[in-house]
Chains A and B, each alone.
Chain A
Amino acid sequence: MSSSGDFRDILSNMTSSKEGNRFTLISFVAVIIMLSYTGYDTVVYRAEVISSFAEENEYVISFSIQNETMQLVETLQDDETRNVIFELSDIAVPEGFSIGLIEVTITSEEEEGVSVQCDSVAGDIIENDLTAQWNDTTNDLSGQDSSCAPIELNLRVYPDFTGETVTVSAINEFQAVQKWTETGWGVGDLSIDLDLDVNSPLGFDPVGQDTDEEITVDVTVVLFSLSIQQV
């Protein structure tokens, strides 16, 4: 005997076993149940999560600045070069803060000599094993002055830190702030060379009083912590 090939006959043959139909029905119901909750998780909930990552979010990172200062007063003789060291480990960096910048101000005040002419003072931040951005183009590592004006030097310690608010694109907060949570920057000692060249009018100091100079070195360590906000 051959089947007629009619679709209705085929369907009725396929479902001719009562026991089999019971199992089949249970399987199909199980599929519907599983599809409903996994479908909700994937197609509704997860799709929402994924779409929130589909385009990178914009975050505004702003910095809270806190300054720590150190000062050293040195008296240099004429034509003397002296190296001074500031141990950055002496600074108590609060929890959540990192060292961003180091600003150095070198001041000298002419009080001696007949003419009270300003001496020539030079200052150099010496590259050593202090972990900082030594090759950053914004650094100002050397300065010289003979007009009694302070010499301003600076060294960027944390990569790209300016203290200005920045906007970044990232898929989550963690990755947005990742660049600003590196550790290990600002470890070591700050080494500064001071150089003095006493100036007299026409090179003449009859009393011979102006042979040295008191130089004050102020080091400001700029610390920062950050706060983040999604745009």
Chain B
Amino acid sequence: MAEQESIVPVAAIVCFLLGVTTLILLNRSKNRIWMDKLAGLMLGWCLIFFGLRYAAATIQETGWVDIMYANESSDLGVFQYLYYSFTIAAFAILALFPLVYPYPVLQKESSIKLVGPITFVLGLVIVITMMLTDYKYNTFWQVLTIPCFIISIPVYFRFLSEEMVNNDETARRMSLAAGIILVAFFGSQMTWWLAQLISINDEFIGRFAIEEGVKSHSYLPNLIGDTVVNTLGSISILCLVAGETWRANKKGVSSFTIVIFLILLVGIISGIADIAVLDIVESCMVTECETFPASYAIWYKFTTEALLLLFTPLMVMYILLHFDVIDTEAENNQWMTRIIVILMLLIVSSTMIELLQSFLPVSQMVSSAILAMVVAIFIGWEERIMSSLIGEGESVSKKLKSLGELHETDISDEELQIFSKLMGVLTTIIIILCWLYSSIVR
């Protein structure tokens, strides 16, 4: 069996590329409603921050778990600082994103204008606080995902009910957007929903704490952050399963229903696997830490890690294209959109094939042939893929407008672009701060 290669570098490329392309495409998209424009900017910058975070992790060449949790005795290099800081910046955007999309809670011109500055200040304050506290509480800020749950769940159920009860077919786009956002936010936590439901995730937290020499796990705020995000992820997937089952009974199975049931299944299998390895998990506490079986690590690489690192950017791409956040009809945007879609799908497919090759005795000739087949399918079905992504695309903002639930403001593109400028400034400050601070404390 070949050595398992990290998919973090691939995630860095995918996120950064998609983020930059989103901003370019958005810049070329004219006559967008403020809500789409702002959501596009937020997603674009969020992807860039995630791309930079994964790039820092790649350069640091540290194990995924090692970089997640700061060791009191370890030297925090500049890239580790950058990793944490860009993660925080991305989460600052994610904290405010649900207030704007798919159902904008902030609709007054004054509050829309504040989204950029609030994100900037929130990001900067958390980055500096975490830096000064040596990233001891670096999983606590996962609580920033709470607004996503509080807003997306009611939106999902409201529009799902309208589709089911009032037979409003156009309501689906709202529930679908809310559902995809929930998966994008809590995807990895959704894959261990069963473990959270039967409350064995704390055993894993305990193991990681002891295995890593009791790092940041031991701090109460981090435990709160872990518990909150795991719980919200678990309840989210159960809500989506309930909703999609209801919808599938009346309207038939959709691709989103299949995705949700796949995550549910992954969660069940992961839960059973987690129960099976509980003795190994507890070994750290009663004897000495035994290593997990290779098959268990492979399973998590293909499910939780792949969902977080590879499929989340694809989901964001789906939101951008399917819900017309960026103007895919504009002549200037069409070729770029096509390139980026095919590129994203190919990168992810080839990575999955490479991952398969790392543990299956498949020769390189066979994997090359499979990759060639994938390329051929993507080229052959390019039209179909694009039309399913864009052709059926219906703007969430147009739906809200038709319902009379979207406030039309006179906010200009320039005023919305302040968000981009502030994020640019935040990126520069983060790089300078990390470089300075890491060289001072060293």
Contacts and interface: CB of A to CB of B under 8 A. Distances in A.
Interface of A: 1-7, 10-11, 13-21, 23-24, 27-28, 30-31, 34-35, 37-39, 41-43, 45-47, 49-51, 53-54, 171-172, 174-175, 178
6 contacts: A3-B405, A5-B107, A5-B108, A10-B104, A21-B154, A23-B161
Contacts of A17: 157-159, 161-162, 165
A20 B226 contact: no
Interface in B33-83: none
B210 interface: yes
Interface in B203-261: 203, 205-206, 209-210, 214, 217-218, 220, 223-224, 226-228, 230-232, 234-235, 238-239, 242-243
Contacts of B217: 50
A7 to B, nearest CB: 7
Contact of A15 (B158, B206, B230, B231): B158
A172 to B, nearest CB: 7
Contacts of A49: 206, 285
A3 B404 contact: yes
Which 6 A-B pairs give the minimum distances between C-beta atoms?
Answer: A5-B407, A19-B161, A20-B158, A5-B107, A1-B404, A20-B157
B392 interface: no
Contacts of A43: 220, 223-224, 227
B197 interface: yes
A17 to B, nearest CB: 4
Contact of A50 (B196, B209, B243): B209
A31 B201 CA distance: 16
B218 A34 contact: no
B235 A51 contact: no
Contact of A42 (B108, B202, B210, B406): B202
Contacts of B223: 42-43, 46-47
A177 B108 CA distance: 67
Main secondary structure of the interface of A (DSSP, over half): helix
B227 A16 contact: no
Interface in B140-199: 149, 151, 153-155, 157-162, 164-165, 196-197, 199
B291 interface: no
B288 interface: yes
Q: How large is the interface on B (under 10, 10 to 19, 20 to 34, 35 or more residues)?
A: 35 or more
Contacts of A24: 153-154, 157-158
Given A15-B158, A23-B161, A38 B227 contact: yes
Contacts of A47: 218, 220, 223
B406 A2 contact: yes
B142 to A, nearest CB: 13
A49 B227 CA distance: 16
Given A53-B209, A174-B287, 6 more contacts: A13-B403, A23-B243, A34-B235, A38-B227, A42-B202, A43-B227
Contacts of B406: 2-3
A20 to B, nearest CB: 4
Given A7-B105, A20-B158, A50 B210 contact: yes
B137 interface: no
Given A20-B161, A34-B235, A53-B214, A3 B107 contact: yes
A20 B154 contact: yes
A20 B206 contact: no
Given A20-B160, A20-B162, A41-B199, A10 B105 contact: yes
Contacts of B153: 24, 27-28
B409 interface: yes
Given A20-B158, A53-B209, A174 B239 contact: no
